[in-house]
Amino acid sequence: MSETDPGYFSVESPFEALLDPIEHDQLWLSEDALTAAMPKAFALMAQVTDLEGHCLPLLKGLEKHAKALAEYLSIQSQKIDLVLQQQLAQDPNAHYRGRGHQFGGSGVSVILDQPVDVGQALSLRLFLPHAQVAVFAHGEVSQVTELAEGMQVAIAFTAIRESDQDRLVRASLQIQQKLLRERAERRRSGEA
């Protein structure tokens, strides 16, 4: 991702975030350098997720002939993702533990109990269990707003793997689609 990349759509949805301060020279890493900087457990999760992404089209082809098998394998994959995410989210060494407020392909907004400064460089570990997404990225604090429940911190991604950015974009669009369906259903129920 570069400084000239356009912004992506984002959506409000809860998630977990673990954040650690990093040096400013680590903000704009290449995808290979970011992958090398990942904690080992996250690198394993990324490899598993990438492998699943390559195998998913094969599973879709199996559905015609063995729909039950494809569904079973998909459920097993989801279970593995959830277990790995739960393990990764338990890291007691994270400097900040945030409650996710909003996410998208360009960045996130989290609620923190501790203050941070605008311009702070951070390493981010994001967990969206409802979408089976775990992402490692680097970002910079772009805005801090004081709220009753803590500090709302907007963080713009400066280094994120393309496949992880795609997962965040898909997850945000799926949530938006669900919200639109719910709104349409409420309108139909109100008109009936």
The most confident of the ranges 39-53, 73-87, 96-110, 176-190 is 96-110
- pLDDT higher than 50, residue 1: no
Q: DSSP secondary-structure letter at 6?
A: P
Instruction: Return the pLDDT at 64.
Output: 63
Please, are residues 110 and 101 in contact by the beta-carbon 8 Å criterion? Answer: yes
The domain limits of the chain are 10-191
Taking 50 as the threshold, does the pLDDT of residue 4 lie above it?
no
**Cα separation, 192 vs 164, whole angstroms:** 42
Given a contact cutoff of 8 angstroms between Cβ atoms, the answer to whether 26 and 138 are in contact is yes
Q: Are 23 and 120 in contact (CB under 8 A)?
A: no
157, 133 contact by CB (below 8 A): no
What integer pLDDT is reported at residue 2 of this predicted model? Answer: 38
CATH class of 10-191: mainly beta
What confidence score (pLDDT) does residue 27 get? 95
pLDDT digits (tens, 9 = 90+) for 46-71: 777 777 777 666 666 665 666 666 66
| 161 touches 35 (CB < 8 A) | yes
Q: Which residue has the higher pLDDT, 37 or 93?
A: 37
Task: Give the separation between CA 53 and CA 61, rounded to whole angstroms.
Answer: 14
Mean pLDDT of 136-145: 97
Q: Alpha helices of the chain — where are they, by DSSP H?
A: 31-37, 40-89, 162-191
**Residue pair 14/109 in contact by the 8 Å Cβ criterion:** no
Contact 127, 134 (CB under 8 A): yes
